[in-house]
């Protein structure tokens, strides 16, 4: 095992974490501000990926596809907020889970109806294709590197948005006391729609970026959604900072677990058994991490409301 | 989410009876397959292949009832019960996934109904669990992986890195590969089922010094792996069973899959009688190229049709014997049933190519001739 391999795996974990952050940021914002559990967040991720693939294959430009994915998922988010989600804010979480689960089914079958049952083609743009050489003779896919950069920029942008702008002040105020900011004359309905569309756009962006190196197909959002929930539980529900830390933590633990656990068991077991036990344990690693975090800090690492 | 497509052909057959024309007993087939959700492409192909054969035969005595299992075992069991008990089907078919097949087939055949599998071939039903009423028109699950193992040995690979998802079919896959692969393993990795990010595994492949890679990653997992592998700069040859490189998903992988060797019991350019006609008629009917799933659906329907022309479905003994003869012209060439009712057939190696704007496969070589599965001897039948 060389140090180059370990550094490559750390970068992989970081890239995975950054992608999870894009998903978790929207989820945690929506939960923090509106108190809503949105299971359909994964569907918005799928909408972003399909919009990107469709526009990219029509125009031949990946970048137009990314713009389209932002627009389509934000529009889908706003539409869903106005028609369905808005009626759920005052209901209990079980109603929200049921209604947004129904949205998953509607989005999935709707997408299948529009695009057919076969996965769509979306490839990385030529200028980001292939590997780059990093110091130490390490080869790393340029596109994954670009995802890390985009994720870092988005995290920084969100930080500026929330700490430096009027919208950010309102979002923070909404997190701490919903009734009060409504009483202060802020159009809370509009604020909710904007926050929801923002979260949707981030999910759509994640879908488009990841769609280029994964499979653009119906149902692609749900596995990511589960991980995003793990991330916000670890990070503290409602906290953007928590989402970032949680996402990177989950990304690195998952990647290193998949890579190191089977090798660890090989030290004192035969190969086949070690592989099978190691990979079984690796798929549990992030849930074990979540359990440990919750034992030490029951509200997550950075609880939003104290 | 349920869709029921009923061929009203039975009615026409009935009226022919009334008109005094001698006609065979009508046969009712229940098709349970995956038509919604992520794996729908496979079920759609099986259904379309099956219905193409029914249409070509012009046989009005065959009625087909189709329902969607949404890839859920519990739903498949429920539909099977309904089809057997209230719709009184004679034959069930259609299931794609091995876990659904294991939930439905044993109880179906124990109720005296026939089951013709157009895809899933779990090892449990090929060996000790074989049944006279269960016929597999596709393959036993290990077959294609065994073909690839034989190819890797023939191609002289010395250090192959092998990888599959951590579930029963994934373990069968690597076992099947190793059964025919004589070189050393550079690594053996089980990934999480449904995993879509393979960065960690690709880094291991790079570090292992492998001279080739064998992956069994069906559907979206394979698409994700091939795209990421192409970006990684690890240029070792990739091989796998046809499931990751079939017509339905090749367009989504695109350039990244060109040159990949994969094993299959059928290819669109296979030079056997009837194959060209099958490909052309499928394309004319549905506007796309058929996949191996379409071939399996097509053959499953033709098996039923051939048995219908020889025996009455209510005479189980005679119908079973007629099915076993496998008197069909399969687009994959020579096809016959082994003693465990699983196919004995050739396994080929195909190469992914670009043909015009379409990504498809061409035949490279023959991997295993008249290949039978490893479990037939355990079958007491």
A1 confidence band (pLDDT: 50, 70, 90): low
CB atoms within 10 A of CB B344: 17
**How large a percentage of chain A has pLDDT more than 70?**
99
In angstroms, the separation between the Cα of residue B46 and the nearest Cα of chain A is 13
- Tell me if A217 and B44 make a contact (CB, 8 A cut-off): no
pLDDT in tens, A184-216: 888 888 989 999 999 999 999 999 999 998 889
- Tell me if A123 and B255 make a contact (CB, 8 A cut-off): yes
Residue A80 has pLDDT above 90, yes or no: yes
Answer with the residue of higher pLDDT: B192 or B236.
B236
Interface size between A and B, measured as CB pairs under 8 A: 137
Round to whole Å and give the CA distance between B87 and B351.
44
- Tell me if A215 and B252 make a contact (CB, 8 A cut-off): yes
pLDDT in tens, A272-298: 778 778 888 888 999 999 999 999 999
Contacts of B229 (CB under 8 A, 6+ apart): B198, B202, B213, B238, B256
pLDDT at position B266: 95
pLDDT in tens, B19-36: 333 345 789 999 999 988
Which of B44, B200, B224 has its CB closest to that of A259? B200
A56 inside 8 A of chain B by CB: no
**CATH of the domain spanning A13-120+138-296, picked from 3.30.379, 3.40.50, 1.25.40, 1.10.3470:** 1.10.3470
pLDDT at position A305: 58
Which of A143, A218, A271 has its CB closest to that of B37? A218
Round to whole Å and give the CA distance between A281 and A146.
30
pLDDT at position B83: 96
A133 inside 8 A of chain B by CB: no
Residue B74 has pLDDT above 80, yes or no: yes
- Tell me if B1 and A109 make a contact (CB, 8 A cut-off): yes
- Cβ-contact B263, B367 below 8 angstroms: yes
**How large a percentage of chain B has pLDDT more than 90?**
72
pLDDT in tens, B242-265: 988 888 888 888 888 999 999 999
Contacts of A141 (CB under 8 A, 6+ apart): A130, A131, A132, B228, B231, B232, B233
Mean pLDDT of B349-361: 93
pLDDT in tens, B323-350: 999 999 999 999 999 999 999 999 999 9
Residue B14 has pLDDT above 60, yes or no: no
Mean pLDDT of B292-296: 95
Q: Which stretch, A241-250, A261-270, B11-20, has highest mean pLDDT?
A: A241-250
pLDDT at position A287: 94
B17 confidence band (pLDDT: 50, 70, 90): very low
Angle subtended by helix axes A221-235 and A3-34, to nearest 10? 80
B239 confidence band (pLDDT: 50, 70, 90): very high
Coil, strand or helix at A100:
helix
Mutation choice for A interface testing from B168, B221, B252, B253 by most A CBs within 10 A: B252
Q: Which contacts qualify for A282-288: CB closer than 8 Å, 24 or more apart? A: A282/A254, A282/A257, A282/A258, A282/B192, A283/A258, A283/B166, A283/B192, A285/A253, A285/A254, A285/A257, A285/A258, A285/A261, A286/A227, A286/A230, A286/A250, A286/A253, A286/A254, A286/A257, A287/A230
In angstroms, the separation between the Cα of residue A275 and the nearest Cα of chain B is 6
- Cβ-contact B187, B200 below 8 angstroms: no
Question: Beta strand pairing status for A138-141 and A131-134?
Answer: antiparallel
Residues carrying CATH 3.40.50.2300, chain B: 5-139+271-337, 143-264+346-378
A143 inside 8 A of chain B by CB: yes
Residue A79 has pLDDT above 60, yes or no: yes
Max CA-CA distance within chain B?
75
Please provide the average confidence, as pLDDT, over all residues in chain B: 89
CATH number assigned to the domain covering B5-139+271-337: 3.40.50.2300
Residue A306 has pLDDT above 60, yes or no: no
pLDDT at position A121: 84
A77 confidence band (pLDDT: 50, 70, 90): very high
B9 confidence band (pLDDT: 50, 70, 90): very low
Please provide the average confidence, as pLDDT, over all residues in chain A: 90
pLDDT at position B80: 96
Chain center to CA of A283:
18
Round to whole Å and give the CA distance between B275 and B111.
36
Q: Following DSSP, what letter does each residue of A150-163 receive, concatenated?
A: HHHHHHHHHHHHHH
pLDDT at position B12: 42
Round to whole Å and give the CA distance between A239 and A2.
37
With helix as H, strand as E and coil as C, how does A199-229 read?
A: HHHHHHHHHHHHHCCCCECCCCHHHHHHHHH
Mean pLDDT of A228-254: 92
Residue A55 has pLDDT above 90, yes or no: yes
Round to whole Å and give the CA distance between B79 and A117.
22
What is the domain partition of chain A in residue ranges?
Answer: 13-120+138-296
Contacts of A226 (CB under 8 A, 6+ apart): none
- Residue indicated by tokens 């280029």: A212
Copy the structure tokens of residue A83: 């028609």
Contacts of B209 (CB under 8 A, 6+ apart): B159, B186
pLDDT at position A275: 79
Contacts of B218 in chain A (CB under 8 A): none
B50 confidence band (pLDDT: 50, 70, 90): very high
> Which CATH class, in words, describes the domain spanning B143-264+346-378?
alpha beta
> Taking CA atoms, what residue in B is nearest to A4?
B207
- Residue indicated by tokens 């028109």: B137
Least trusted range by pLDDT, from A122-131, A158-167, B22-31, B364-373? B22-31
pLDDT in tens, B96-122: 998 899 999 999 999 999 999 999 999
B15 confidence band (pLDDT: 50, 70, 90): very low
Round to whole Å and give the CA distance between A28 and A305.
13
pLDDT at position B32: 96
Residue B275 has pLDDT above 70, yes or no: yes
- Cβ-contact A108, A219 below 8 angstroms: yes
């Amino acid at each position: 095992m060389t140090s180059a391999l370990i550094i490559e795996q750390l970068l992989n974990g970081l890239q995975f974490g950054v992608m999870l952050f894009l998903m978790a940021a929207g989820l945690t914002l929506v939960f923090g501000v509106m108190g809503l559990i949105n299971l359909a967040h994964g569907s918005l991720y799928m909408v972003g990926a399909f919009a990107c693939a469709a526009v990219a294959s029509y125009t031949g430009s990946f970048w137009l596809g990314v713009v389209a994915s932002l627009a389509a998922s934000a529009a889908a988010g706003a539409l869903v907020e106005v028609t369905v989600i808005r009626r759920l804010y005052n209901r209990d979480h079980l109603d929200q889970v049921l209604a947004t689960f129904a949205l998953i089914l509607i989005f999935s079958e709707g997408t299948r109806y529009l695009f057919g049952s076969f996965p769509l083609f979306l490839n990385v743009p030529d200028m980001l294709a292939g590997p780059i050489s990093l110091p130490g003779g390490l080869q790393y896919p340029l596109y994954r590197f670009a995802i890390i950069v985009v994720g870092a920029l988005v995290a920084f942008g969100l930080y500026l948005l929330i700490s430096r702008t009027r919208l950010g002040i309102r979002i923070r105020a909404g997190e701490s006391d919903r009734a009060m900011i409504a009483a202060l004359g802020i159009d809370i309905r509009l604020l909710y729609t904007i926050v929801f569309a923002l979260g949707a756009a981030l999910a759509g962006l994640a879908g488009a970026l990841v769609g280029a190196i994964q499979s653009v197909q119906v149902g692609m959002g749900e596995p990511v959604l589960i991980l995003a929930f793990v991330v916000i539980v670890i990070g503290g529900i409602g906290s953007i900072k928590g989402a970032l830390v949680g996402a990177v933590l989950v990304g690195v633990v998952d990647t290193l677990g998949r890579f190191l656990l089977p090798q660890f068991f090989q030290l004192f077991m035969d190969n086949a058994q070690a592989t099978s036990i190691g990979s079984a344990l690796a798929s549990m690693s992030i849930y074990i991490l979540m359990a440990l975090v919750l034992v030490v800090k029951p509200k997550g690492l950075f609880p939003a409301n104290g | 989410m349920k869709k029921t497509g009923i061929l009203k052909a039975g009615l026409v057959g009935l009226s022919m009876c009334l008109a005094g024309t001698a006609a065979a007993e009508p046969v009712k087939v229940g098709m349970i397959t995956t038509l919604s959700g992520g794996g729908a492409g496979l079920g759609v192909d099986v259904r379309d292949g099956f219905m193409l054969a029914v249409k070509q035969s012009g046989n009005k005595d065959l009625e087909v009832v189709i329902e969607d299992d949404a890839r859920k075992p519990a739903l498949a069991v429920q539909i099977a019960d309904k089809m057997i008990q209230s719709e009184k089907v004679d034959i069930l078919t259609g299931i794609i996934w091995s876990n659904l097949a294991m939930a439905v087939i044993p109880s179906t055949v124990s109720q005296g109904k026939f089951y013709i599998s157009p895809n899933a071939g779990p090892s449990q039903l090929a060996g000790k669990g074989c049944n006279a009423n269960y016929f597999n028109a596709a393959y036993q699950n290990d077959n294609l992986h065994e073909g690839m193992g034989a190819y890797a040995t023939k191609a002289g690979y010395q250090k192959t890195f092998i990888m599959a998802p951590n579930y029963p079919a994934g373990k069968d896959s690597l076992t099947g590969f190793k059964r025919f692969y004589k070189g050393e393993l550079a690594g053996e990795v089980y990934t999480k089922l449904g995993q879509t990010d393979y960065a960690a595994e690709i880094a291991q492949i790079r570090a292992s010094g492998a001279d080739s890679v064998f992956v069994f990653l069906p559907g979206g997992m394979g698409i994700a792996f091939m795209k990421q592998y192409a970006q990684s700069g690890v240029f070792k040859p990739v091989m796998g069973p046809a499931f990751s490189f079939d017509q339905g998903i090749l367009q989504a992988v695109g350039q990244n899959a060109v040159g990949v060797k994969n094993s299959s019991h059928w290819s669109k350019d296979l030079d056997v009688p009837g194959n060209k006609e099958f490909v052309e008629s499928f394309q004319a009917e549905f506007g796309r190229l058929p996949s191996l799933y379409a071939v399996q659906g097509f053959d499953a329907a033709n098996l039923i049709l051939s048995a219908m022309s020889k025996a009455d479905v209510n005479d189980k003994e005679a119908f079973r014997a007629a099915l076993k003869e496998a008197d069909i012209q399969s687009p994959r060439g020579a096809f016959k049933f082994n003693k465990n009712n699983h196919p004995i057939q050739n396994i080929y190696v195909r190469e992914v190519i670009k043909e015009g704007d379409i990504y498809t496969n061409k035949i490279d070589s023959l991997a295993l001739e008249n290949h039978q599965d490893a479990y037939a001897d355990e079958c007491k039948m």
